[in-house]
Amino acid sequence: MSEDRPQIYLVTPPEFDLEVFPARLAAVLDGIEVACVRLALASRDEDRLARAADALREVAHARDVALVIEQHALLVERLGLDGVHLTDGARNVRKLRKDLGDDAIIGAFCGVTRHEGINAAEAGADYCAFGPVGETPLGDGSRAGLELFQWWSEMIEVPIVAEGALTADLVAQLGPVTDFFGFGEEIWRADDAAAALKTLLAPLG
C-alpha cells in the first residue's frame, strides 16, 4: 500500500451474531489490508462484550490487525485489546493515557468540531475521528466537511479518521486529506462486505 494512501479502519455493527460475524470480518481482513478494527457493540453486558472481544481479537491478531473497543477502557487490559476509542472527544484522553500507558491506542471521536479535535490531539490521542462526512438521517444534520480535513492535514500531525455515511465520491474527495477511512454499516449491510469495501475504495486506485 502506498505511503500516502489512507489506511482502512473497520467499525463493527452495534449488534451482530457471534456465530457469523467473526467469519465475515475474517473474509474482509483476508481480502483487504486493514489497519485497525473497532469493537463498537451497543451492548453494556460485560459477558457479551468479553465474548465478542475474544472472538474478534483472535481474528484480528492472527492477521496483525489492531483491535480497539469503543468506550469501555477498563476492559482493554483485561481482554488483551490494543486500545480504546472514546466517543466524547478530548474529555478522558489524558487520564486514560496515564492509566493505559504509551503503547495503548487511544482514539477520540470529535464530531464535526475542529476545536474538540485539537484538544484531543494535545491531550495525547493517537488519532482523531470526525464525522459523519456523508448525509445521514441520524444526528442533527451537521457534517464534517472537506475544509476541516484540508486544514487538519496541513496543520496537525496527529492522524485523522473520516467516518460516517461514506460513499465512493467522498472517498475520492477526502482521499488526499485523510489518514484513515472508518467503514462500518456502509459495508456490513451488504451481503459481501469485502466486495462492498473494494467498491468504496475504487477511487483510490
Per the structure, the count of domains in the chain is: 1
Chain position carrying cell 496527529: 158
For residue 39, being part of any structural domain is answered with: yes
What's the whole-model pTM score?
A: 0.97
Angle CA(80)–CA(42)–CA(110) in degrees, nearest 5?
Answer: 85
**How confident is the prediction for the chain on average, in pLDDT?**
96
DSSP codes of every residue in 105-149: EEEEE-TT-HHHHHHHHHHT-SEEEE---S--SSTTS----HHHH
Show the domain range for 94: 7-204
pLDDT one-digit tens code per residue, 31-70: 999 999 999 999 999 999 999 999 999 999 999 999 999 9
For residue 68, being part of any structural domain is answered with: yes
pLDDT one-digit tens code per residue, 98-139: 999 999 999 999 999 999 999 999 999 999 999 999 999 888
CATH of the domain at 123: 3.20.20.70
For residue 1, being part of any structural domain is answered with: no
For residue 166, being part of any structural domain is answered with: yes
Q: Please report which confidence band the pLDDT of residue 4 belongs to, taking 50, 70 and 90 as the band edges.
A: confident
For residue 28, being part of any structural domain is answered with: yes
For residue 73, being part of any structural domain is answered with: yes
Q: How far apart are CA 74 and CA 68, in angstroms?
A: 12
For residue 130, being part of any structural domain is answered with: yes
For residue 53, being part of any structural domain is answered with: yes
For residue 46, give the C-alpha cell. 460485560
